[in-house]
Amino acid sequence: MDLTLVVLAAGMGSRYGGNKQLDGIGPNGEIIMDYSIHDAINAGFTKVVFIIRTDIKEAFENHYAERFKGKIKMEFAYQNEYTEHTAPYEPNRKKPWGTTHAVLAAKHLINEPFVVINADDYYGQESFEEVVKAINMMKENEYLIMGYRLENTLSDHGTVNRGVCQVDENMHLVGIKETLSIGKNDGVISYMENDQPVELSPETYVSMNFFAFPPSILPLLEEKFVDFVKDNNEDPKAECFIPVEVGNLMEEGKAVVKVIPTSASWLGVTYKEDKEHVVAGINQMIADGKYPQEVK
C-alpha cells in the first residue's frame, strides 16, 4: 500500500525566532524532520510531501538534493501559492490561513492514505510503526490521531499548548479541547482557567498534530475551509485548524476518529532554549543504536 507523509513546514516559528524547520540538530546537519522521514521510510511510507513557503524553497531543495535519494519520493507544495478560495483577501493578509489551508495546498499530490505531521516535532519511531498498523485496519470514514501522554510532551523552558483528547471506552475520540499554557510546577501539570489552576493527569492523551486520513477527507476539508474563509475573511489572524475541522466532521456524523495510544516521547523546539534538549536526545538515541551516525 502506498502511504504519503505530509510535513507541515510553512510555519513562521514566531516563538522560536528564525527558521527552526531548517535548524540542524543532528551531528551531520540533520534537522528534526529528517528523523521523521527516516522513521517513515522504515515503517513503509513511499512518498513525502513538504508544505512550505516559496521563500524557503531553495533552502529545502538544497537540503534534500541528495538526502534520502532513491529511498522515498519527494514533492513540494507551497501554502502561500494556494489562493483558490482566498485570493480576494490576500492583499491584507500576512498570516497563513492555518493547517487546513496547508494540507489543501497539497491536495493535487495526495491520492492515497496520508499522515500529517509538524516539521518541528520529533514523534518517535514507535509512533510511525503504530500508525501504519492502524492505517491497515482503518475503516471507511475513520480517521486516526496519535495520542501522546501529556507528560511526554512538555517543555522545560515554558508552557505549551496542547489538544487535550477526550476518549470513550473504545478509544474513539469524543472531543479535543485546545488547552493553552500547560506547564509543570513542583511535579504538578496544570493550566489556568478563569484565573484558577486546573490540574491534568500526566497520562492524559494529547494531540501533537499527528493524524492519519484517507484521501476522501480532502473534499470535506475543502468545504470546511470555504465556509471558514467566508466567515472569517475580515479577521487577519484567523486560522483554520485541522483538529477543529475534524471535530466539526465528527459532530456532523461524517467521521469517527480513533485515538492510537503511544508511549513515544515527543521532542520539539517550541522555544529556542529547547534545542539543547533535542540535540542531547538525538545524540543519546544515536549512542543507543536507534539511529545511524548520519541519517541520509
Q: Which fold has domain 4-287?
A: Spore Coat Polysaccharide Biosynthesis Protein SpsA; Chain A (3.90.550)
Residue 178 amino acid letter: E
3-state SS class at 240: coil
pLDDT at site 149: 95
pLDDT at site 265: 87
The owner of cell 480517521 is: 143
Which residue ranges make up each domain of the chain? 4-287
Kindly report the pTM of this predicted structure: 0.90
| Phi, psi of 168, deg, nearest 5 | -95, -170
pLDDT at site 19: 56
Q: How many CB atoms lie within 10 A of CB 103?
A: 28
Q: What is the mean pLDDT of residues 185-205?
A: 94
What the block records as the C-alpha cell of 289 is: 543504536
pLDDT at site 17: 41
10, 116, 145 from 107: Cα distances, Å? 16, 12, 20
Q: What angle do CA 24, 76, 231 make, to 5 degrees?
A: 105
Question: Which of 196, 217, 208 has the alpha carbon at shortest distance from 124?
Answer: 208
Q: What is the mean pLDDT of residues 129-139?
A: 94
- Quick one: pLDDT band at residue 21, thresholds 50, 70, 90? low
| Phi, psi of 159, deg, nearest 5 | -80, 165
| pLDDT tens track for 139-184 | 888 999 999 999 999 988 889 899 899 999 999 999 888 899 999 9
What the block records as the C-alpha cell of 107 is: 491536495
Q: How many CB atoms lie within 10 A of CB 264?
A: 23
| pLDDT tens track for 283-295 | 999 999 999 999 9
- Quick one: pLDDT band at residue 24, thresholds 50, 70, 90? confident
Q: pLDDT above 90 covers what percent of the chain? A: 73
pLDDT at site 15: 40
**HEC profile for 211-230?**
EEECCCHHHHHHHHHHHHHH
**DSSP letter assigned to residue 135:** H
- Quick one: pLDDT band at residue 129, thresholds 50, 70, 90? very high
Q: What is the mean pLDDT of residues 116-145?
A: 94
